[in-house]
Amino acid sequence: MKGRMLTYTLFGESHGEAVGVLIEGIPPGISVALDSLKEELERRKGIPELSTARREEDIPQIISGVFRGYTTGAPILVLVKNRDVGSSYYEEIKDTPRPGHADYTARIKYFGYNDYRGGGHFSGRLTAGLVIAGYFARRLLEREGIKIKAYIKKIGRISCGELELEKILSSKNAYCPDELALKNMINEIKDARNSGDSVGGIVEVIATNVPPGLGGPWDEDIEADLASAYFRIPAVKGVEFGAGFKLAELRGSEANDAFIMRDGKIVTEGNNHGGVLGGITSGMPIVARIAFKPTPSIYIPQRTVNIREGKEKIIKLRGRFDPCIVPKAVPVVESATALVLAEHILRRNSWKNVVRRTGPKV
């Protein structure tokens, strides 16, 4: 993400020496605890019984930008070493792109010089860097009282029920507030795994205590920035805010959220708009749903082409695959949300300081 105030750059490859992130724009004086950063990386590993057999320690090494437990304002560089790597199989299939993966498009884009081992730079392994960047952004947002919570909304055809906001925010379950639905979702994932297949799903994310006034029209649109951040997560194929695609079925009289007074504040009666109007936050919770496709690596034989020979063939993959990546995506979605909100908070606060000195307040 290349924001105006906050930027981050992911680097590394799935089977390279390390993955990591370079973060620029985090203000000085934000406390950093390695233990809590490590906990975020542990969440990214997903539900143990359903995750790939690849076992990585994911120990973050902060190279720069943090001194005596606080950010310094300098660029922050964090590395995560790759330990459990086995690349020999990828040498066997380098000329036969795996269906659903970026093997073919990456080969064309980089003229055959791309690192094809484990998907290289396109691997979900790089989301470790995204989670690290999100950790620093969330520490910044804590000062503003902003909270972010993501959970699994749907796996395959199994969906959790409509949940009250308070239940979602107060749930101690790391994956889904609806315990019964989660149990059925896990069974759905196991069923896909047992048949050599995979399954996708939906993650819903909610950001609360977001102040009104973040964002703007066109190139400042916070909804567009969030959507862009979500689509950069591997395997994302759909994003909607608020009532989303259901709004297409409604009349304006049904879709519009009436403004009302509550406890001395202007709020909306409903939240079909998902917390954003005109590209600007309304003060209501930001609500978004992100759809993930099924893991493209499956054990069922699939059709492909041998690029060198120019012939069609059948490929049957071997290796360590997740039958569903959605549980792993929960902290990744939270991090993507945090980074965009932190960018817009920094922008807004810079304006506030000027307006306080030169003009009237709203």
Instruction: Give φ, ψ of 147 to 5 degrees.
Output: -120, 145
Q: Sort strands 259-262 and 265-268 into parallel, antiparallel or unpaired.
A: antiparallel
* 90 contacts 118 by C-beta, under 8 angstroms: yes
Q: What is the pTM of this model?
A: 0.94
**What gap in Å lies between CA 80 and CA 129, rounded to an integer?**
8
* SS3 of residue 353 by DSSP: helix
> Is the domain defined by 7-358 classed in CATH 1.10.10.1100?
no
266 token code pair: 């202007």
* SS3 of residue 81 by DSSP: strand
pLDDT in tens, the chain (362 residues): 788 999 999 999 999 999 999 999 999 999 999 999 999 999 999 998 887 666 778 999 999 999 999 999 999 999 999 987 777 889 999 999 999 999 999 999 999 999 999 999 999 999 999 999 999 999 999 999 999 999 999 999 999 988 999 999 999 999 999 999 999 999 999 999 999 999 999 999 999 999 999 999 999 999 999 999 999 999 999 999 999 999 999 999 999 999 999 999 999 999 999 999 999 999 999 999 999 999 999 999 999 999 999 999 999 998 888 999 999 999 999 999 999 999 999 999 887 766 655 555 55
